[in-house]
Structure 1
Amino acid sequence: MTGDESYFRRIVDKERLAEYLAAELGSADEYEVRHHQEGHSNETLFVTWGDEELVIRRPPPGETAEKAHDVLREYRVVDALQGTDVRVPETILACDDHDVLGSDFYVMVREDGDVLRDDEPERFATPERRERVGYELAENLARIHAVDYEAVGLEHGDFGYPPGFTERQVERWSEQITWAMEVTADEREVSELYEVMEWLQTNVPEDPPATLVHGDYKLDNVMYGPGDEPEIVAVMDWEMSTLGDPFTDLGWMLSYWWDEKDPAPPSATDTLSSTFMTREGYPTRRELVARYEELTGFSYDNDRFYRTLAVYKLAALGEMFFRRYLEGNSDDPMYPKMRKGVPALAERALRIIDGEEPL
């Protein structure tokens, strides 16, 4: 048995899944399960069930940090957003019976289109369509932040608690780093993260707006439809969603959006840092912010903090990935790269703090 086959069997029992789907959806003549390995957090399975093309989301195997990989929370928000202006896949089932897959999971309809992860589709390779790719991204973030969250059942105090959210973000991601370093510190230290931690703790902006927050909004967490004109058909990966500071979403999106003036991303983080949006026609970060501000009426005044926080969170994720790799709980080839990737991210956060990577 290869490592890939062994890991696949850890995340899905095909016979038990088939029994569950047959009980919930009816029998099917065709059944196939494939592991989609493009993401780096929750596991994604593509399932053919008769004429239906489905997606299953489940957490990775093994111990995870507290509150990470909460797929039923992800299901709740995607289900709540059905029928709103936010473009999300159609939800079908949610399951908390661990006898099926060994974890919580949920099922949704598979959308058709392209995720722009490593490059642009050929049909978008004109200045006009590249511009539209960028503005679609900013406009759909504005749609998320315009949702009347209580009206769709995502109540204040239940789904999230906006007061103090930004300060808690710094605290939470610091705790995630500490959790990961219980194991990773035996391999190598990343002392720069403590400098970033201290700066963030003393520079939290006061009184930001309160909205629905996606928590992981970026170019490769949306899907563009198959047509020639760029249009987002689905926003995915809602596991970190909550109610809070919308600028944490904006800063996160911008941290992945490279401008021509930026230094090249370090090779240790190349799997996290596509740079094709530096080509002619793509909007700059400043232009994306201007479009977002125009649609929301918000003023994004603390970019240095929010992009630093974004890179700090990415470093925390990288350190958690590295711990999972060291403990044998992932077959993702990106995870071992975080031995050098996290120190590179910590250095980037310090460059943003020092004004060396401006908006």
Structure 2
Amino acid sequence: MTQIDQAVDIREGEELDAGAVDRFMKQAMPELEGEPSIRQYPGGASNLTYQVDYGDRSFVLRRPPFGHIAKSAHDMLREAKVMRALKPVYPYVPEIIAICDDHDVLGCDFYVMERFKGIILRQDFPKGFELSEADTRRLCLNVIDKLVDLHKVDPVATGLDHLGKGPGYVQRQIGGWSNRFRKARTEDVGDFEAVMSWLDDKMPEDIAQCVIHNDFRFDNVVLNPDNPFEVVGVLDWEMATIGDPLMDLGNSLAYWIQADDEQQFQILRRQPTHRPGMLSRDEVVEYYMEKSGYVVDRFDFYEIYGLFRLAVIIQQIYYRYYHGQTQDKRFAMFGHAANYLEKRCQRLIDASTL
């Protein structure tokens, strides 16, 4: 039987005050009994996610990382409110159980949600999870369908239309991510100025305004352990907003590493998109366009934007490691990753006909 995704021992320096968690949980749910067992999910390089168990009852607690964080980043209250608004129309969102804005509890904002017990596909298929090439393709299409479904959600009906700032989403993203990179750059990482200049010059108009996830990938999707083709949950809504759906797809493709990609890109792989049967990036775009009804002549801009944005996210994390604000050894090589992504963006730019 394929193993249901489980938390592991908490990383050093990221422990929670179990007594404070217990008091908060029992205030929100007085029926809870006993002491909590707290473990940590190993995935993710940004917000911290913990499994909190009381006997056979299991919950998930999300909090921002320890140490200095960028202003407006890791907004737990916003994420929880977005999820609450989406839940009635997009059932793959976990139910929010309690929100805490009292920093006397854990020193930060955090929230607690239901735990979806299921399979999460991280870098590779988990032990016991074997699919034929045809079944892998079927799974792949089902996951992409959930992104299409999200983009069809009515922002007004959910009450999330206030998140949008109107036309100009593409322009705001290019300007915003460029500013973030310049602030987070370290001396051992390239300047990305040629990439940022190209993106600024080639910006298309917004193709639409809809609810977007902004971090949609396989390790944010939960599969039914009894039917691994069925998506039962979509996680990590921190960056969800109202924006351009093709920008959202470009973000997803930045993580979509194929079996025939060069070794340097393979090292960054965090999901099993290299498996036989998985769609190529070009096939993902083609399938998405067919299902969504959107039409664009060339996807170059969105692909390069997605890679640049990923580089900025990596660089922001590396900045914290570089300046000693986190000791997490996973981040030690992130500067090399940012440098590689600059080269990859430039190669795509050189090959583009835009």
The alignment's TM-score, normalised by the length of structure 2, stands at: 0.90
**Offset at 1:6?**
5.0
Q: Secondary structure at the match of 1:334?
A: helix
**Offset at 1:189?**
3.6
Matching of residue 82 in structure 1 with residue 82 in structure 2: no
Contact 2:189 2:335 in 1 (8 A): no
Q: Aligned partners of 2:196, 2:303: CA distance in 1, in Å?
A: 13
Aligned CA distance change for structure 1 residues 287 and 178 (closer, same or farther; 3 Å): same
Could you report, residue by residue, the CA deviation over 1:244-270 in whole angstroms, capped at 9, with x for unpaired residues? 101111111122223344333347xx2
- Gaps spanning 5+ residues in structure 2: where? 1-9
Q: Secondary structure at the match of 1:291?
A: helix
Q: Aligned partners of 1:327, 1:352: CA distance in 2, in Å?
A: 31
Q: Aligned partners of 2:154, 2:11: CA distance in 1, in Å?
A: 44
Give the number of aligned pairs. Answer: 342
Could you report, residue by residue, the CA deviation over 1:279-326 in whole angstroms, capped at 9, with x for unpaired residues? 322222233223222222111434111111111111111111111112
Superposition RMSD on alpha carbons, in Å? Answer: 2.0
- Gaps spanning 5+ residues in structure 1: where? none
Q: Aligned partners of 1:131, 1:190: CA distance in 2, in Å?
A: 37
- In structure 1, what residue type is equivalent to 2:274? T
Q: Aligned partners of 1:141, 1:103: CA distance in 2, in Å?
A: 31
Deviates more, 1:291-300 or 1:73-82: 291-300
Which structure 2 residues correspond to residues 228-239 of structure 1 after superposition, within 5 A? 228-239=227-238
Q: Where does residue 92 of structure 1 map in the other structure?
A: 97
- In structure 1, what residue type is equivalent to 2:68? E
Could you report, residue by residue, the CA deviation over 1:171-219 in whole angstroms, capped at 9, with x for unpaired residues? 11112112212xx22xx1413x111111111111113111001111112
Q: Secondary structure at the match of 1:231?
A: strand
Contact 1:257 1:275 in 2 (8 A): yes
Which structure 2 residues correspond to residues 136-151 of structure 1 after superposition, within 5 A? 136-151=142-157
Contact 1:58 1:106 in 2 (8 A): yes
Q: Aligned partners of 2:26, 2:269: CA distance in 1, in Å?
A: 41
Q: Aligned partners of 2:195, 2:124: CA distance in 1, in Å?
A: 31
Deviates more, 1:133-142 or 1:24-33: 24-33
Contact 2:22 2:35 in 1 (8 A): no
**Offset at 1:35?**
2.0
Which structure 2 residues correspond to residues 14-163 of structure 1 after superposition, within 5 A? 14-26=18-30, 27-121=32-126, 122-155=128-161, 158-163=162-167
Contact 1:170 1:201 in 2 (8 A): yes
- In structure 2, what residue type is equivalent to 1:133? L
Q: Where does residue 190 of structure 2 map in the other structure?
A: 190
Q: Aligned partners of 1:34, 1:329: CA distance in 2, in Å?
A: 23
Identity of aligned residues (%): 35
